[in-house]
Amino acid sequence: MAEDNFDILIIGAGPGGYVAAIRAAQLGFKTAIVEREHLGGICLNWGCIPTKALLRTAEIYRYMQHAREFGLSAEKVGFDTAAIVARSRAVAKRLADGVGFLMKKHKITVIDGSARLTKPGEVKVEGKGAGTYQGKHIIVATGARPRVLAGITPDKALIWTYFEAMVPKSLPKSLLVIGSGAIGIEFASFYRTLGAEVTVVEVLPQILPAEDDEIALAARKRFEKQGIKIFTGAKVTAVEKKRDQVIATIEDAKGGKQTIPAERAISAAGVVGNIENLGLEVLGVKTEKGTIKVDGFGRTNVAGVYAIGDVAGPPMLAHKGQHEGVICVEAIKGLKPHPLDKNKIPGCTYCDPQIASVGLTERRAKEGGREVRVGRFPFLGNGKAIAMGEDQGLVKTIFDKKTGELLGAHMIGAEVTELIQGFVVAMNCETTEEELINSIFPHPTLSEMMHESVLDAYGRVMHV
């Protein structure tokens, strides 16, 4: 039975799980990972990666429609929905296959099936890899699934989740998006760019609720200019299904109601952790708000049981899960890693325009009693942005007025999802405004706007 005994046994092979497995193998642990569907989990197969492939197609399509602005000629520009989807699926498969290679490279045992905790240090697996397995340390990394709103149950035909939205057989002429977080806004952007009439409904006062107020407002203006209809402080109270469309009833904060027809609707009201049917209650593992309660090292209240990634609570982001996995395994090894600091986790939304952020928003910083300095720099003042034909956007930085600590950074515009990491590194290194001001940024680059934003916070901006 030696082949059924492991130092670390991980349930779920999404970004958190497979990275935890790799780090465990690197540290000399005998490691196994149980997966019921696809290596790479939702992110590689149905989330982060394939959606970015779709959005890249939309981006190129948008550029082709504006070819004349670049001195180019592109006539009768069109698209093939089936080919767009096929490329996205091929990209996803390539990445998932890559995870399989990494498991073999690091000699990690992959068990196909669904796992359930039965007693301390033991799980039973049903499926192809059926059996009972022992693990000194068991890490739950089962991810999350789309949240289902009362009365708006996805049916895969008229009401979609992100699964169906990624593989449309044809492009709907009109689309209702329920929820304006990253998932909802990315799909709204993709379908609008390809020509669909899009309506977004958000129950909170602003779209992109996790973002800085100023950035969210700028995003709303850009989306509305593109033709996206947006309702905030409103909710969808009912969805009536017709033969090939839905009729949604929308109620605003004052109780006013109106109906909106759309060929398809996407329910994008967040996700919930996959905590069911895992045997958590057998061991007495504590859960909270639909996720497993953990400390900064992924430890649950039960010795030898850990949780990472989406199932361990927000923010539900792949890179957060990966980092948690490394921290969890290194803590098990006794390496004394730093606990997870959620304030330093960047968030990115890959819509048009892109949005990226890290740290405190201006409002949250002030609500926390901080005196702040705020710097801003517009894309229209940057030579590289103008040369790219992308002169609309903003970089915003927030500093503690007393200490010069960088509290947060928020961006909207071209390629900001790539730029944000500069501020993430700065925050992680506890950089002050002086060090950022004295850093040399290459010219001509979009990154110069990061420097200018810092300069602006201290009355030294150069190019506006």
Q: Active-site residue numbers? A: 443
12, 18, 23, 25 alpha-carbon torsion, rounded to 10°: 80
Nearest-angstrom CA–CA distance, 207 and 185: 9
Query: Residue 426's closest CA among 346, 350, 362, 363?
Result: 346
- Tell me how far apart the terminal alpha carbons of the chain are, to the nearest angstrom: 70
The secondary structure of 53-91 as a DSSP string is: HHHHHHHHHHHHHTGGGGT----S----HHHHHHHHHHH
Q: What secondary structure letter does DSSP report for 169?
A: S
User: 98 CB contacts (<8 Å, ≥6 apart)?
Assistant: none
Q: Which of 293, 445, 323 is nearest to 384 (CA)?
A: 445
- Both structure tokens of 100: 């399989």
Q: Which H or E run includes 382?
A: none
Picking from 394, 367, 370, the residue whose alpha carbon sits closest to that of residue 449 is 394
Strand-pair category, 355-359 with 144-146: unpaired
Query: Is the link from the previous residue into 50 a cis peptide, with omega within 30 of 0?
Result: no
Look at phi and psi of residue 313 and say left if phi exceeds 0, alpha if psi is from -120 to 50, else beta: left
User: Across 122-218, where does the E strand assignment appear?
Assistant: 122-126, 131-140, 144-146, 159-160, 174-178, 197-202
